[in-house]
Amino acid sequence: MTSAPLTVDAPFLDTYARFPLELVRGAGRRVQDSSGRWYLDAIGGIAVLALGHDHPEVKAAIHAQVDTLLHTSNLYRLPVQRAFANKLLEMLGGAAVFLCNTGAEANEGAVKLIRKHHWRQAGCPGDGNSPRTEIIVLDHAFHGRTMMALAMTPKPAYHQGFGPLPDCVKVVPAEQVAAAVSERTAAVFLEPVQGEGGCRPVPGLQAIREACDKHGALLVFDEIQCGLGRTGELIHHPRPDIITLAKAIGGGLPLGAILVVNPALTQALQPGDHGTTFGGNPVACAAGLATLQIIERDDLPARCAALGARLRAGLEAAGAEVSGLGLIQAARFGLPIGPVVARMRENGVLVVGAGADAIRFLPAFNSTEDEIDEMVAVFAKSLAEVKAGQG
Ligand SMILES: Cc1ncc(COP(=O)(O)O)c(C=O)c1O
């Protein structure tokens, strides 16, 4: 006698409402399901696959590293890790890097670094507590699913049942952030273009920077989803004190980074203060290094800007209201998104929601014009079909 599965998604815990699609292969910007059907991937592993599913140079770098050295931990020096970190600093500017595995881990580590910085600034109080703990985040922010990152992600449904969360987070509408910064503020965290929250470029960055400077607060750009040139710009201005990165920087493998831009922060963490077993794994760093080199060599931020303009124009011509920059764009069309996402999948293009009311497009940086046009055409066709079905 077989017993009923304990979970709907057995053997997994039921944490994902997965799409009814089993994927078995990726090539270029397309993925194949287990029935043999190919789909154009407009999501790329949620902004991970900047160069598509099987870039030959990234694959060659991975193979070479697998044949050389798989893993050592951070107890030792690693040439490929150093080369990756130096390339990241060369391209984005900055003073030092901590490597980890995921976006949430980068944000958690950044909060620790920020607390320790303010503790040192205050003369290292003996109770071990940082005198400044308030973290300001924006409406619609998404910073991850671990406890601190979750506290910094103000979506009630994500918090339900997980409390108490760290209570040091203040949520503020984007336009009110500069006015909300005070002597209590440890840092402002923001995504220059919000991803999960609806592909919203954050206004008033200069005023936020000035408010942070005035009150001695730090400014963090979470570029985990929008970074590495996806917005059309490799470097967002004004400069923050810290940039957190993940997703695309690993070329398809798990890799995250806390990039310290402000040199005054490089001494905040000392040996023993923070760590991770896998962070900066050699294979992930090899994939990431190849990815960074290609993004720079092929001037892909400029390509993201050009393709983004094409995508936006196409989506607007199809009747959508569009927000975002470069290749992080959301389309709103005044209907529930679920049926359109499903119809697009049936019509051969994979997309996902951004918030409750928008469909998100996160194509690979090296997409072709034809692929962008195909995404737009399938969006227009699917929207029309859903509208016709409703009428
Ligand atoms: C802006 C942003 N920050 C943080 C995260 C969390 O990253 P991860 O899922 O790698 O922990 C995400 C993931 O979607 C993100 O988009």
Tracing tokens 């798990």 back to the chain, one arrives at: 254
Determine the distance separating the centroid of ligand 1 and the alpha carbon of 246, expressed in angstroms. Answer: 7
Residue 226 has pLDDT above 60, yes or no: yes
Q: Does residue 108 lie in a domain region?
A: yes
Is the pLDDT assigned to residue 244 strictly greater than 80? Answer: yes
- Residue 362 belongs to a domain: no
How many angstroms is it from 256 CA to the middle of ligand 1? 10
Where residue 6 falls among pLDDT bands split at 50, 70, 90? confident
The answer on 228 and 120 residing in a single domain is yes
Which domain range does residue 154 map to? 56-297
168's tokens: 């040091």
Pocket test for ligand 1, best of 16, 107, 142 (most atoms within 8 A of CB): 142
67 assigned to some structural domain = yes
**Tens digit of pLDDT for each residue in 82-130?**
999 999 999 999 999 999 999 999 999 999 999 999 999 999 999 999 9
Ligand 1 centroid to 106 CA: how many Å?
Answer: 9
Q: Are residues 115 and 139 located together in one domain of the fold?
A: yes
* HEC readout, 10-42: CCCCCCCCCCCCCEEEEECCEEEECCCCEEEEC
Query: Residue 46 CA: which ligand 1 atom is closest?
Result: 14
Is the pLDDT score of 390 beyond 80?
no
The ligand 1 atom at the shortest distance from the C-alpha of residue 256 is: 10
Query: Average pLDDT, whole number, for the chain?
Result: 97
C-alpha of residue 387 to centroid of ligand 1, in Å: 33
For ligand 1, the distance from its centroid to the CA atom of residue 102, given in whole angstroms, is: 7
Q: Is the pLDDT of residue 260 over 80?
A: yes
- Helix, strand, or coil here: 361? strand
Q: Which of 155, 245, 247 to mutate to test the pocket of ligand 1 (most atoms within 8 A of CB)?
A: 247
If you measure from the C-alpha of residue 146 to the centroid of ligand 1, how many angstroms do you get, rounded to a whole number? Answer: 10
Confidence of residue 4 (pLDDT cuts 50, 70, 90): low
Could you tell me whether strands 349-350 and 185-190 are parallel, antiparallel, or unpaired per DSSP bridges?
Answer: unpaired
Q: Is 361 left (phi over 0), alpha (psi -120 to 50) or beta?
A: beta
Total structural domains within the chain = 2
Give mean pLDDT, residues 172-178. Answer: 97
Judge if 281 and 195 occupy the same domain: yes
- What spatial distance separates the first Cα and last Cα of the chain, rounded to whole Å? 49
pLDDT at position 386 is 97
Examine residue 226 and state whether it is found in any structural domain, yes or no. Answer: yes
Q: How far apart are CA 118 and CA 308, in angstroms?
A: 40
Q: What does the pLDDT look like over 303-359, one tens digit per residue?
A: 999 999 999 999 999 999 999 999 999 999 999 999 999 999 999 999 999 988 999
Does residue 174 surpass a pLDDT of 60?
yes
* pLDDT at residue 2 tops 70: no
Tell me which residue of 321, 327, 314, 289 sits closest to 378, measured CA to CA: 314
> Do 142 and 5 share a structural domain?
no
CA 342 → CA 17, 19, 20, 22, 38, distances in Å?
A: 13, 9, 10, 15, 15
Q: How far is the CA of 249 from the centre of ligand 1 (A)?
A: 12
Substitution candidate for ligand 1 out of 194, 199, 224 with most atoms within 8 A of CB: 224
Q: Residue 231: which of 325, 311, 313 has the closest Cα?
A: 325
Q: Which residues, at least 6 apart from 287, have a Cβ–Cβ distance to it below 8 Å?
A: 58, 61, 62, 65, 250, 251, 252, 253, 255
Q: How far apart, in whole angstroms, are the C-alpha atoms of residue 219 and residue 200? A: 18
- Evaluate whether residue 13 is within a structural domain: yes
Report residues whose beta carbon is within 6 angstroms of any ligand 1 atom.
Answer: 46, 102-104, 107, 142-144, 191, 195-196, 222, 224-225, 246
* 180 and 138 part of one domain: yes
Whether residue 33 sits in one domain with residue 115: no
* pLDDT, tens digit (0-9, with 9 covering 90-100), for 261-307: 999 999 999 999 999 999 999 999 999 999 999 999 999 999 999 99
**303, part of any domain:** no
Cα 247 from chain centre: 6
Q: CB within 8 A of 356, min separation 6: which ones?
A: 337
In a domain, 30, yes or no: yes
Residues 15, 61: one domain? no
Distance 46 CA to ligand 1 centre (A): 9
Q: Could you say which of 297, 315, 330 is where a domain stops?
A: 297
Nearest residue by C-alpha to atom 13 in ligand 1: 144
Which residue matches tokens 């996902």? 352
Q: Is residue 373 part of a domain?
A: no
